[in-house]
Chain A
Amino acid sequence: MKKFTRLSMLLSLAVVLNIIESVIPLFNGYIPGLKLGLANTVILFVLYIYSFKDALYVSILRVILVGILRTGIFSIAFSFSLGGAILSVIMMSLFKKLTKLSIIGISIIGSIFHSLGQIVVAIFLLENVNMFYYLPWLLLFSIPTGIIVGVISKELVNYFEKDLNFSH
Chain B
Amino acid sequence: MNKKDLMLILIIALISISIIIGYRIFEKEGTKKALVYYENDLVLNIDLSINQERVYYVDGYNGKVKIIADEGKIKVDSENSPLHLCSKQGYISKSYETIVCLPNKVIIKIDTQEDLDAIVK
A102→B97 contact, CB < 8 A: no
Which A residues touch B9, using CB under 8 A?
108, 143, 147
CB of B2, distance to nearest CB on chain A (Å): 5
Which B residues touch A142, using CB under 8 A?
12
- Interchain Cβ contacts under 8 Å between A and B, 11 examples: A32-B89, A100-B4, A104-B1, A105-B2, A108-B5, A122-B100, A126-B100, A126-B102, A133-B97, A136-B20, A139-B15
Total cross-chain contacts (CB, 8 A): 87
CB of A137, distance to nearest CB on chain B (Å): 7
A99→B13 contact, CB < 8 A: no
Which B residues touch A136, using CB under 8 A?
15-17, 19-20, 23
Q: Nearest 4 pairs between A and B by C-beta?
A: A105-B5, A136-B19, A139-B16, A136-B16
A104→B96 contact, CB < 8 A: no
Annotate A124-160 by CB proximity to B: 1 below 8 A, 0 otherwise: 0010101101011101101100010000000000000
Q: Which one of A36-44, A49-57, A72-80, A82-90 contacts B?
A: A72-80
A30→B5 contact, CB < 8 A: no
CB of B16, distance to nearest CB on chain A (Å): 4
Q: Bound state CA distance, A32 and B84, in angstroms?
A: 12
A133→B23 contact, CB < 8 A: yes
B100→A128 contact, CB < 8 A: yes
Is A8 close to B, CB under 8 A? Answer: no
Interface residue count on the A side (C-beta < 8 Å): 33
List residues of B (36-70) whose CB comes within 8 Å of A's CBs.
none
Q: Bound state CA distance, A101 and B12, in angstroms?
A: 14
Question: Contacts A126-B102, A130-B98, A140-B16: A101 and B82 contacting too (C-beta < 8 A)?
Answer: no
Which B residues touch A76, using CB under 8 A?
102-103
B82→A105 contact, CB < 8 A: no
Partner of B98, one of A99, A101, A112, A128: A128
Which A residues touch B102, using CB under 8 A?
76-77, 126
Partner of A71, one of B20, B83, B88: B83
Partner of A29, one of B4, B13, B90: B90
Question: Contacts A112-B12, A140-B16: A77 and B2 contacting too (C-beta < 8 A)?
Answer: no
Q: Bound state CA distance, A124 and B96, in angstroms?
A: 18
